[in-house]
Amino acid sequence: MKRALAEKESGSGTDQKLKAVSAGQAAGQVSNELDKVIHERMRLGIVSALAANEKLSFSDLKTLLNASDGNVSAHARKLEDAGYIVCEKSFSGRMPLTEYSITDQGRAALQKYLDHMEALISAVRDVQS
Q: What is the mean pLDDT of residues 98-109?
A: 98
Specify the CATH number of the domain 2-128: 1.10.10.10
> Could you tell me the pTM of the whole model?
0.76
Residue 102 CA to residue 85 CA, distance in Å, equals: 4
- Cβ atoms < 10 Å from Cβ of 6: 11
Mean of the per-residue pLDDT values of the chain:
84
Check: CB of residue 7 under 8 Å from CB of residue 40: no
Which is higher by pLDDT, 88 or 19?
Answer: 88
Please, which pLDDT band fits residue 30 given cuts at 50, 70 and 90?
Answer: low
